[in-house]
Amino acid sequence: MHVEYYPDLLDIIKSLQYALKNSNPDKILFNRWNEPGPLDIDLSFSPVISEKTVEEFIKQDVCTFCDRRISYKANQFSKPVVKLPYLILVHNTFIMSDKQYYESASVDSLFRKMIKGGLKCNENEMLIREILRCHFGGADEKNNQYVQNCLQHLRKDIDRYQIKGVLILGQAASLLFKNDTAKINKITGEIFDFEGIPAMICPGPNRLDYMYQKHMDEEKINTERRTIFNYLTKFRTEVMYK
């Protein structure tokens, strides 16, 4: 496999060479001793990227669907080893770390505690993906077409890992269901069909962190914690170990 590399640059050099050939380079260029002149450069070669490099790039499953992405999010196109066939969907506006699931350390800590306490397993045993796998500007983040593009990769993951259940946390649900608050409230905590497999929406760790940061009434926080725990328990008993 031969892939041309920088063909435009070669065209520019050839054009420059032609211009020099039709002028008087001796009067406009200064050459060091034994330095070849520009007209003596051999441009008959065609630089290539090796076949191995091209194949390794293609195998990364990188995405080119969206035309206004800023960059890829860390690990969103990786192929981890998944011990438990369950998918957790999260959403971060901007995250570059490949060691955290949420951009805030406090939210990330709450997330790990939620999974361990409610699902009785470690978060790294399941597949965790972002709804949007790339970083987008604020004006593009809620673009439904970009969400639909990302869902194509999600379907590949469901098939590749034989996913048997999906847990949708917090803000991920807003993007997935186009900010339809009435629908989200109606199905939160319920088991419903998503891409042909059972799924549940559960408040995410961002919700608890927000309540802590705002110093809300302790009883309200405890009520929210119990609600989240009950939802996670329901997902564990009715989806994971039914």
Report pTM: 0.75
Q: For residues 88-102, give the mean pLDDT.
A: 90
Cβ neighbors of 160 (< 8 A, separation 6 or more) are 79
Write down the CATH superfamily of domain 63-240.
Answer: Uracil-DNA glycosylase-like domain (3.40.470.10)
Sequence ranges of the chain with CATH classification 3.40.470.10: 63-240
Is the pLDDT score of 184 beyond 70? yes
**What does the pLDDT look like over 124-171, one tens digit per residue?**
999 999 999 999 988 888 889 999 999 999 999 999 999 999 999 999
Cβ within 8 Å of residue 221, ≥6 positions away: 208, 211, 212
Mean pLDDT of 18-33: 60
Q: Range with the lowest mean pLDDT among 6-10, 80-84, 135-139, 234-238?
A: 6-10
